[in-house]
Amino acid sequence: MMLHIPGVLTREQVKAMRAEIDAADWVDGRATVGSQGAQVKRNRQLPEDSSVGLAQGRIILQALQASPAFFRAALPASYMPPLFNRYAGDTGEAYGLHVDGSLRGVPGSPVWLRTDVSSTLFLCDPDDYDGGELVVVDTYGEHSVKLPAGDLILYPATSQHKVEPVTRGERVCAFFWTQSLIRDTARRTMLFEMDQAIDSLRQRLGDSPETVALASQYHNLLRMWGEP
């Protein structure tokens, strides 16, 4: 399941965030990937231990707490601190087809996190650059994504994906992974669609015996399948 969540950050928040991260020190993006990813990755990132990146990442996570759509789709158990990357058009930076690692160590902690859900938060507008589309590949084909600043795309971390070469301007985004309470993508999608359907019925029918029964089944499935 892919989900576009608009307005995770306001225009004012994006502007303030860009002022902070643009002035920070950036490094080669290959520092945070394995040997396979390093062969196809050409971009720059803020270091994982960047004080600027960590502070701005906390702002993103706080914003997500106010997003019911994100909670319903991801059913988050824990998060990796958001990272920040940029792709320059003057050198045609890109990230070839790859899949994210299944486990990532949380910086400064002995904890490892299972990457169930990937998210990219756009910090620039589509008109700011040419190319740079996020392309996600699943059983239904390829899906190309290029969103307004402040909008987020969420998709299964099991999906192969790539960032097309940037040919003009600069693409700047935040990205992070979520370990979900529901490990299985199909079950997570089923619960999201069921939750959406229950909401639609409640808007039409109110809290009828039928909608209460369906909500009970939703939460019973969440209890049955959920993992801490």
CA distance linking residue 120 with residue 155, whole number of Å? 9
Q: Are residues 36 and 109 in the same domain?
A: yes
Q: Which domain holds residue 218?
A: 185-225
Helices (H), the chain: 11-22, 35-38, 51-65, 68-74, 185-205, 209-225
β partners of residue 105: 112
CATH code of 74's domain: 2.60.120.620
Quick one: which of 72, 106, 95 has its CA closest to 194?
A: 72
CA distance 176 to 120: 7
Shared domain for 28 and 90, answered yes or no, is yes
- One domain for residues 157 and 197: no
Residues 159 and 98 in one domain: yes
> Would you place residue 140 in the very low, low, confident or very high pLDDT band (cuts 50, 70, 90)?
confident
For residue 205, name the pLDDT band (cuts at 50, 70, 90): confident
- Are 31 and 85 found together in one domain? yes
Q: How many domains does the chain have?
A: 2
The whole-number pLDDT of residue 39 equals 79
* pLDDT for residue 32: 66
The HSE-up count of residue 180 (CA atoms within 13 Å, CB side) is 28
Cα angle: 38, vertex 41, 45; to 5 degrees = 100
Q: What angle do CA 134, 135, 136 make, to 5 degrees?
A: 115
Instruction: Let me know whether 144 and 191 are in one domain.
Output: no
Query: Binning pLDDT at 50, 70 and 90, where does residue 107 land?
Result: confident
Q: What is the pLDDT of residues 59-82, one digit of tens each?
A: 999 999 999 999 999 999 999 999
Q: What is the pLDDT at residue 38?
A: 67
Q: What region, left, alpha or beta, does residue 92 occupy, with left being phi > 0 and alpha being psi -120 to 50 degrees?
A: left
85 and 137 fall within a common domain: yes
Whether residues 211 and 126 share a domain: the answer is no
Domain closes at, from 180, 197, 217: 180
pLDDT(6) > 80: yes
Structure confidence at residue 29 (pLDDT):
84
Residues 175 and 199 both lie in one domain: no
Same domain assignment for residues 66 and 17: yes
198 in the same domain as 159? no
Task: Give the β-pairing of 41-42 and 160-163.
Answer: unpaired
Percent of the chain clearing pLDDT 70 (strictly above): 97
Answer yes or no: do 210 and 167 share one domain.
Answer: no
- pTM for the model: 0.93
